[in-house]
Structure 1
């Protein structure tokens, strides 16, 4: 009997690598599954002594994501504090991938499931997401284990076969720890983010209030940066003085180091200078010492160390470095990039890993030398019990590795350095006495470069000094006082920040890079020269504001405690329910206190940011009070009425102007005009743009609603958009004369009509019988008319009429042509019939406006 075994990897590329490595009889076949992203690879083999048919497929990361039920996702209706007691649901992470259906179908007829997800807590959590869909569909086997877990750190075939031979079981506790962390992060982050975003929305002109986020990891990460900023701004420079003495030896001038170091009182420094200047200007050698010292080889590489090295040595940020490392791992160049361990296990094949590099054109000779002379014993580190340290799997050149070459080069050199000898050098120290004061001179000579031969950044240069004899008198060339000032510490680099996050338990090796990237993307810090992080006015204001209310909301202590409790859950030492109850209870109380004292932050912001009134300029009249609306031109662009105390969102691109002093027939607001130098310009009503009158909100990227009376009058519909997969409608820009144009109300498609030949263009009430588009009634300039016999008027279809078509150009081709004939049919345009005798578009628009205005518009 042949059994069926389903094996699930975390990514499609790993599934293919896995099937290629484990298939020993020919080659695996592949086919498409239900999910468009994940293929299924099949082959024949053996499973615990039984003939088996293997099906290897994958997910694409998490199958599910945690969220609140829909009723809790309406910000205006749900008080943020209620989120702490709200239930959570798991929704498909990406419904388009159809992962649950994919697994359910592939599981049917299978007897066993082997999970090949990433070997960390997140991967363990995904194991159980997969099991939820697979296990109910497996063929039941009485008393047998049907679910197995593979543990691996490399995609090398030998390591995958070893993992297949040593299968274990998935770890429920580790999966639950991820569930607990996700729920805590969701409830804490959403409650504070929703409250402070709504509270500060529309209050300040130079504050982007679209989303003022709080995150249990993000905010302590920002706190480190702001704390360093505070240390710098609060730093008081202090003057100090040194005694600078220069001697001359065989034509070289050598600067001596004063044994007292420095003094902070200038008169004292002057006194010492006068003392040494009074006697003979000769320094006497009193002692010469030599000592062999060494620079230790580096420890094995873990994730945080890799990210720090990538930032400081390669100038690559943590987020980018992590993406590169994951890509290198998936392509089989290096081992799993997420690990906290920095010591090699006792059974780690160091010689085999070095042997794989012996033919490399750049460091192959060095690797061969290591194999001949023997590998140095790697330095001791910490074994966290997760994955072995990061090492190369095979040799590769720049052309083979591609984009991640610099990172691969760094990782490989670091690995070879960890099994190389220490860098040895001889330190020489010469002590001299000069009129009662002691000075010294130091030199260094490398005797064995050791690991610095391969790890370029570790190179050590010689510091040569002349030979001296005890008792030798050396002439003094100059004596002076050096004046200096103490300097503040520099802003944190990415490497510094990673060190602090690791020390205080903020984030995991897998998430630290994301937290740093988040505070950059949300404009809380800016990345400057030297990859240093300087907090912005917003970042500083947020942290200082939180500190005024509750310092524990930003300092790393509490987050470190949360991570510690999740670790207890992962180790089976704490119940997930009790941890959740404990943490959420604490933060609910903190939230209520924050909510009642947010005025302290508002007071701080008042002294930091500009009010809306000061940042805006008066433009148009409000339809509710007839006072002026002010427009804030800096992003986020918005308008506000001081009298009504209401803010109106506006388009973020283009200059906002007044439109002919016309008013919206629905709400009496004066119309504005969005003017763009390139692309479309269009009128809008501030009220209708902020709160659309026809039910649904504007679709993403949509510029105007076709049914609105101002667009029926000033942007009348002509035809369906010719853009690929665009659902929009091309409308005549009545303000574009004499360079007439037609714009799409959704995408950026634009048609130019008749260059400057047309005097007037009007959208007819009639429709084209061929394609359903509205006809255009055109009056041409008499001197430039393209019509025969001096005619100047013509009504025809832009898409179907050869003459009109020839004088129309689009952004995609010089000659306009209708890409999808008939697309306009059935879109409320008469379904291809001429519809003669109907009222004009302008009349219909005005009538529609009167009806809506009379009925009243619900706001």
Structure 2
């Protein structure tokens, strides 16, 4: 029997369906499904993992944060513990019956490591399998791609897996050692610990440094002159000088302008906008961020669409389609996709299809492209948005350039030069399908030189120069890529970690005062982990491991040497480090002024219940208190409620949309909000009840109750526990401190 191990359950099922020469028999080992079928006359069993089956961790004696010296973690033994016991038991049981194994996990560094971890369990159960291992590498869960991969089986890359394991070990060593040190130095334990990570920390420094630039920025005044003109049609114009640095000069120009402007020049210029290049991971995640889907969420959605067979593998650096990709075959799949069918017909009617090419060409995976058709009703709204984004980008890469016409008009009024202009699309090309970010046409009226137009209104505008803009998540991804921070697979989760730990909020990304303080302290006393150079160098070393140029042990030991130096420097600066961080923590705890006495309201915790509340610094003279939401990160906004005058806060909870509220629960706005929530909940319950009744009628009266019972009794998949220490004896996070 041949055992096929894939990364997820639905991938295992699809592989069985694609390869089976007859029917597929579904079975289970306890709760883990597997699928038995015949391929090339041989019995095969396909089983899926749940990602990593082994996790790195320290021995139990290192688990007490307060008693164990953090420096001892640098050279401590790293164990591999089973993270999914049910899956591990299934792999062992099936391996005992197997004659050979095929690893069919995702084809990248992480996927190779997951496959090698599963092999270690197989070899435990059946050592004879060591000489009978092969690897299936595919970039899309389609029948053609999977069949080709199994026809061309290769060897497992131990080097690629070793590179993934090196990153895992280094992240644990650095993250656990420094997170514990910082938590001890600042006396922040339990869920309030302050995480530090090899990639997370330099990313936080990037965000914080931009915020410092903004705060240090000194705005300079300037003045602009704008005018509303009309010649049958209205259009706008501005003074040709642009920004005036001298107010008196600007005022004179403004007063010189008359009620009439004369056209002095009309110029038209055509331009071509080339179609966009194919999506690699960074390009895709940036585009997703631009339509309001965070990188971490977009990565998860893309992974789901990949395992469902609708898009190709979403972790790739490639921006050049391989010659083997049959464009017409892909287009044939997309003809039935809502909203693009007619456009696809137009592409198919063309002769030769010549896709655009990006600058990065690799041989592991193609760029991200759609691999199958799915209807809108079969997906959730967020999945459909991502699927549409990939489909439309693919179609755009096969499309003609767009053409635009730019009209520039120069005028003169009272001796002052004015300029106006507008751009219109004259040939849609790829813009006809990839509409994201497309600007509306700016039509200009038909004007000729010497023609007078009426100046209906003129404006004298006083403005100031603006500080550098904050990083949006999409822009931050590109900066991280340019600096070598993280990998295409890890960058979205690194950014999400910063949100989850309360170091940043909003998009564009705003650091909290705690985040600013941690970044400053690390930069002052642990510069190696605060800058991108060391992290980028380690990423290059891991690439060398995967290429067989160096060993995993050599790279991990070298990183330990660097960490020892960092630790020594931190030890000698513990008091200064803690003072900086606590300044930031205290700043974040100030919510605003007390209405009763004017002193600061701060976040506090009740001694008996542990519940947090807002209390006045003037206590005991002032006993003003407010209840605070029991869960989520509380971020002071520095604003006051226009209804009751209480400080406003933002509450950020993992997995929920952030919300803004004032801290006074008796505020009229709060009562309106609670009523609106109750009405929305009641409407939803009424809608669900009506649908259940409708389903019951459709199924002879009993179907609805069956469906309802199935929903309520189905066991939910266990969520990955957030790696947070609980009390002094908790274990350190493995992934959350990257």
Distance 2:45 2:300 in 1: 29
Q: Structure 1 406/518 Cα, relative in aligned 2: closer, same or farther at 3 Å?
A: same
Is 2:449 aligned against 1:491? no
Which residues in structure 2 correspond to 1:449-598 (within 5 Å)?
A: 449-472=428-451, 474=453, 481-527=460-506, 531-598=507-574
**Which residue does 1:652 correspond to in 2?**
610
Distance 2:64 2:190 in 1: 21
What is the CA distance between 1:476 and its match in structure 2?
Answer: 5.2
What is the CA distance between 1:257 and its match in structure 2?
Answer: 4.5
Is 2:71 aligned against 1:81? yes
Distance 1:448 1:496 in 2: 30
**Which residue does 2:121 correspond to in 1?**
133
**Which residue does 2:706 correspond to in 1?**
none
**Which residue does 1:378 correspond to in 2?**
356
Distance 1:44 1:551 in 2: 58
Distance 1:223 1:382 in 2: 28
What is the CA distance between 1:191 and its match in structure 2?
Answer: 0.9
Match of 1:92 among 69, 75, 82: 82
The question of whether the paired residues in 2 share the 8 Å contact of 1:291 and 1:428 is answered with: yes
The question of whether the paired residues in 1 share the 8 Å contact of 2:257 and 2:413 is answered with: no
Match of 2:34 among 31, 40, 43: 40
What is the CA distance between 1:209 and its match in structure 2?
Answer: 7.1
Q: Structure 1 21/253 Cα, relative in aligned 2: closer, same or farther at 3 Å?
A: closer
User: Aligned pairs, how many?
Assistant: 604
Please give the per-residue CA displacement for 1:345-395, whole angstroms capped at 9, x wherever unaligned: 222222211111112342212111111124343233312333212222222
Match of 1:105 among 69, 93, 108: 93
Distance 2:474 2:50 in 1: 30
Which residues in structure 2 correspond to 1:106-505 (within 5 Å)?
A: 106-135=94-123, 146-201=132-187, 210-245=192-227, 247-250=229-232, 252-258=234-240, 260-273=241-254, 276-277=256-257, 282-286=261-265, 288-313=266-291, 315-374=292-351, 375-403=353-381, 404-433=383-412, 438-472=417-451, 474=453, 481-505=460-484
Over alpha carbons, which structure has the higher Rg?
Answer: 1
Partner of 2:174: helix, strand, or coil? helix
Q: Structure 1 268/174 Cα, relative in aligned 2: closer, same or farther at 3 Å?
A: same
What is the CA distance between 1:125 and its match in structure 2?
Answer: 0.8
The question of whether the paired residues in 2 share the 8 Å contact of 1:6 and 1:113 is answered with: yes
**Which residue does 2:718 correspond to in 1?**
none
Distance 1:410 1:248 in 2: 40
**Which residue does 2:700 correspond to in 1?**
none
Q: Structure 1 119/605 Cα, relative in aligned 2: closer, same or farther at 3 Å?
A: closer
The question of whether the paired residues in 1 share the 8 Å contact of 2:185 and 2:578 is answered with: no
Partner of 2:192: helix, strand, or coil? coil
What is the CA distance between 1:22 and its match in structure 2?
Answer: 0.1
Distance 1:454 1:150 in 2: 35
Unaligned runs of 5+ in 2: 592-600, 614-626, 628-738
Match of 1:31 among 17, 27, 30: 27
Distance 2:583 2:125 in 1: 62
Please give the per-residue CA displacement for 1:701-741, whole angstroms capped at 9, x wherever unaligned: xxxxxxxxxxxxxxxxxxxxxxxxxxxxxxxxxxxxxxxxx
Taking structure 1 as the reference length, the TM-score comes to: 0.66
Runs of 4+ deviating beyond 6 Å? none
The question of whether the paired residues in 2 share the 8 Å contact of 1:10 and 1:59 is answered with: yes
The question of whether the paired residues in 1 share the 8 Å contact of 2:319 and 2:361 is answered with: yes
Q: Structure 1 328/173 Cα, relative in aligned 2: closer, same or farther at 3 Å?
A: same
Which residues in structure 2 correspond to 1:666-677 (within 5 Å)?
A: none
Larger proportion of helix: 2
Distance 2:221 2:602 in 1: 47
Partner of 2:318: helix, strand, or coil? coil
Distance 1:192 1:217 in 2: 13
Q: Structure 1 137/443 Cα, relative in aligned 2: closer, same or farther at 3 Å?
A: same
What is the CA distance between 1:118 and its match in structure 2?
Answer: 0.7
Unaligned runs of 5+ in 1: 616-631, 640-649, 656-675, 677-859
